[in-house]
Structure 1
Amino acid sequence: MFYSHSTSLLDNQSAIEQHWQSCTKGNITTPFGEIFYLRQIPEHAKYTLLLVNGRIESAYKYKELLWELGNNNIGVVTFDHPGQGFSSRLLANRQIGHIDHFKQYREVLEQIISKQVLPYTNNWLFLAHSMGGAIVRNYLAHTPNTTAKGAFLSAPMFAINTAPYPVWFAKWVANVACKLGQSQQFAIGQQPYQSKPFSDNELTGCSVRYQQFRSLYDTYNVLQLGGVSFGWLYAALAETANTNKQQISIPISIASAEHDSIVNSDAHSRFAARQEQCFVKTYPGKHELLCEIDAIRQAVLAQCYEFAESVTLKETGS
């Protein structure tokens, strides 16, 4: 398999950009506004990954990964969630990450699958990160007859780190705030987008990829998104409370980060213990395993590729 390396990332920017330009991009209209999508499925792809990214993220952030997948003859479909990236924002204040109900994420995902995946392939699976993992779990819990072959989840948001407050207290405060009409306001401690220095970041140990991420958001101000609303917080905490309540019918593989301060990694093993087809592997990295240092990132992608090949059809062109 072909893997990108941080030491040659800058030298490969021209090729990465050329691949990005070759992808099909557009918008689909939903009840939650225009949703940006990207699709690149080679005629004889090994299989196709539906990349479901995390909070504040965008397809633009994954240019390096999209280029790698193309080099490995793997199809990909991805999109920006409602309220972030190049999709329509849900509030007049673009800096507040907001959602009314978590099922809104699922409803957009269902449209992406219907319009950008199923017309082009029946040999596909999920690749999801963080909040994307929670959205995929929600979808799978409500769609036992899905045609997805499996789901690879990177640091899925199965439990949120609400420190210094316990989860029950954070959920109670968010619920009260929503009932008082503050659902669309920043939750306590949340603020507009800030570009933190690498030395102070909680996302990755790779300085090259971190600086690329920050430069991207500095170049495209439209991508910038701050903290979450009380509404988002309550919806997310209500959703994660349901994580272990349903059996998922398809195989799942989880990459968990040992030094994750964004989500609670212990929830990954608890979830896996209740599933019949779920495997967890832990890596000595931070939250963004798909943007980590080369050794960790390559091991995570190798886990993803091995899992994908084990659950998808072996013949090409399917």
Structure 2
Amino acid sequence: MQTAPYFADLAEGPEGREAFWLTAADGLRIRAVLWPHAGTEHGGAERCSGTVFILPGRTECIEKYGRGARDLAARGFASLAIDWRGQGIADRLLTDRSIGHVGHFPDYQKDLDAVIALAEARDMPKPWFLIGHSMGGAIGLRALMEGKPFAAAAFSAPMWGIGLSGLQKAMVRFVAPVLKLLGLDNRRAPGTRAPTYMEWHGFEDNLLTSDREMFDYMTRQVRAQPDLALGGPSSHWVIEAVAENDWSRTQPYPETPALCFVGGDEKIIDTAAVRAYASLWPACDYIEIPGARHEIPMERPETRALFYDRLAAFFAAQAR
């Protein structure tokens, strides 16, 4: 384990963090950060109730979850977060680093395996839980299906179905296979852009959060450290993501207890597909939060409090 950079001033996370470079089984370098629980000296719970693995969405970086780690710490949980391959300051897979890409969607499990090994080596408090946001929700679902050591899980706008536009759906069905045959599927998917979303769109009418301050928090991070930013995905990534969703629907439902949070104003994922999947998963409770957009952990203070209070109580109940 080698110490990795961590932009503490941008993350605003708990004190006492440790950041590491890790090497996945196929040789790619990823980044992970460990945050302790707050402890009584910072107004937190007296004992640690376990460790929460934060599985970020596409385009996201560790620093984006600094405030979330602080919310978890105040509720008695240690936490850790991951820069997946192809984003943050982990190894990017294409020469054009603005394109989100992965070779095969299950490759993300190699990153998670490396972080689990780190958590074991650092003796992170058990039981272990996960929060999977967006793409991290699809990665987390496979992790549960594969029997990774999580006592319970919470999902925020999980990518169990992608909210594709008409153009993108046509691309996946007709254009993408041709691009793959021609070796052109590593190019940016049609209809997406090179800059990260916060840079080209701005706050007004954005699809991520209704909270201006949290939008500015996310924007400051990628402006201060441009290497953290990521633009649109490759056509290959889209093909892989759709294939992952198709695969998961053929598998037995995990027995792990879970919560699934979706915003009432969600417009990025396919909410109907997520609702349908959650309704058929016996161990999963579906929770819709009125007025929330895609980034539930980055929403207004009252929404964030509801999210973290609900999942903290749920996790704590599994720890008894």
Using structure 2 for the length normalisation, give the TM-score: 0.87
Match in the other structure for 2:139: 135
What SS does the corresponding residue of 1:106 show, helix, strand or coil?
Answer: helix
Question: 1:35 aligned to 2:37?
Answer: no
Letter of the structure 1 residue corresponding to residue 250 of structure 2: K
**1-side partners of 2:315 and 2:85: how far apart?**
27
Match in the other structure for 2:202: 197
What SS does the corresponding residue of 2:72 show, helix, strand or coil?
Answer: helix
Identity %: 25
Query: Once the 2 structures are TM-superposed, how far is the Cα of residue 34 of structure 1 from its aligned partner?
Result: 1.4
Question: 1:19 aligned to 2:14?
Answer: yes
Question: 1:56 aligned to 2:59?
Answer: yes
Show the 5 A alignment for 1:1-318: 17=12, 19-20=14-15, 22-30=16-24, 31=26, 33-42=28-37, 44-117=47-120, 119-143=123-147, 146-165=148-167, 167=169, 170-194=172-196, 195=199, 196-246=201-251, 247-284=253-290, 285-312=292-319, 314=320
Contact 2:71 2:308 in 1 (8 A): no
Match in the other structure for 1:5: none
Query: Once the 2 structures are TM-superposed, how far is the Cα of residue 168 of structure 1 from its aligned partner?
Result: 6.7
Letter of the structure 2 residue corresponding to residue 141 of structure 1: M
Cα deviation digits, residues 155-201 of structure 1 (max 9, x gap): 10010011124747524422221121012111111220141210031
> Given the superposition, is the C-alpha separation of residues 175 and 139 from structure 1 closer, same or farther in structure 2, using an over 3 Å criterion?
farther
Using structure 1 for the length normalisation, give the TM-score: 0.88
Contact 1:217 1:224 in 2 (8 A): yes
Moved over 3 A (4+): 13-18, 41-44, 165-169
Contact 1:33 1:88 in 2 (8 A): yes
Q: Point out where structure 1 has 5 or more consecutive residues left out of the alignment.
A: 1-12
**2-side partners of 1:277 and 1:302: how far apart?**
20
What SS does the corresponding residue of 1:242 show, helix, strand or coil?
Answer: helix
What SS does the corresponding residue of 2:129 show, helix, strand or coil?
Answer: strand
Contact 2:49 2:126 in 1 (8 A): no
Contact 2:134 2:158 in 1 (8 A): yes
Letter of the structure 2 residue corresponding to residue 297 of structure 1: R
Contact 2:51 2:124 in 1 (8 A): no
**2-side partners of 1:15 and 1:224: how far apart?**
13
What SS does the corresponding residue of 1:79 show, helix, strand or coil?
Answer: strand
> Given the superposition, is the C-alpha separation of residues 18 and 234 from structure 1 closer, same or farther in structure 2, using an over 3 Å criterion?
closer
Contact 1:77 1:117 in 2 (8 A): no
Query: Once the 2 structures are TM-superposed, how far is the Cα of residue 16 of structure 1 from its aligned partner?
Result: 7.1
Cα deviation digits, residues 271-294 of structure 1 (max 9, x gap): 123222110010121100000111
- Residues matched between the structures, number: 298
Letter of the structure 2 residue corresponding to residue 35 of structure 1: I
**2-side partners of 1:208 and 1:169: how far apart?**
36
**1-side partners of 2:285 and 2:174: how far apart?**
33
Query: Once the 2 structures are TM-superposed, how far is the Cα of residue 92 of structure 1 from its aligned partner?
Result: 1.0
> Given the superposition, is the C-alpha separation of residues 149 and 178 from structure 1 closer, same or farther in structure 2, using an over 3 Å criterion?
same
